[in-house]
Chains A and B, each alone.
With several copies, the nearest count.
Chain A
Amino acid sequence: MSRERYLVQGAVTHAMIGETVGADATGDTAGAISVFAGQVRADVFDGRTVAAIEYSSYEAMLKEAVAGIREVIFNAFSDVKTVTIIHSTGVVKAGEISLLVVVTAGHRDQAMRACTHTVELVKEKLPVWKKEIFEDESHRWV
């Protein structure tokens, strides 16, 4: 199954999680749905608290990277039916979600392992950068 949306402006909403599961877990042969959401933490660095993260990406390369990750997962996990990756671009505040991964499979073992592996590949392969914006409006690239 092809999921065209992989970038979203600002935060991934809670409603979007339910909607994505609803769009992916169609049919009656998928027994397991594994979801990971990454949320911006109000970490403290050098006495300053993170208020938001501003994400930027190399969009043309990102599209290819998402397709590449999906191909790796489908090849590695024969029971997996769908893989969706949605990443935020722009500003996401602390306490908001910036990454959503949804994997559906026939059974739970492959759904969960494939979801974990997808998240690892997202961290490693997606051309995305983040700038922590602190409460005092200073920033730091991480």
Chain B
Amino acid sequence: MSVRVLFFGFLAERAGAPEKRYEAVTDTNALEAMVAGEIEGLQEYSYIVSVNRQAIRGNTPLNDGDEVAFLPPFAGG
């Protein structure tokens, strides 16, 4: 299984790409651990995670083809 992961705002800059693909990741906790290995200091940043465009709270199982996003605080307007 494979999930599409999008990074926005300063997290896109930190991740080095706006979009990546992760294989064999079964839930969002596992994904965050993998991403934390690539983005130094991720734990200190304020952000939310969405799965298929819905913000999640707590660990959420992932399915093949899901679209996960790492969203810094919104700053529109």
Contact = CB atoms under 8 A, between A and B. Distances in A.
Interface residues of A, number: 25
B72 A141 contact: yes
Contacts, number: 57
Contact of B8 (A38, A123, A124, A127): A127
Contact of A58 (B6, B10, B77): B6
Q: Chain B interface: which size bin?
A: 10 to 19
A124 B75 CA distance: 8
Nearest to B18: A56
A130 B12 CA distance: 12
Contacts of B9: 56, 129, 131, 141
Nearest to A141: B10
- A-B pairs with lowest CB-CB distance, top 9: A129-B9, A128-B76, A141-B10, A126-B76, A61-B53, A123-B77, A130-B75, A38-B77, A99-B77
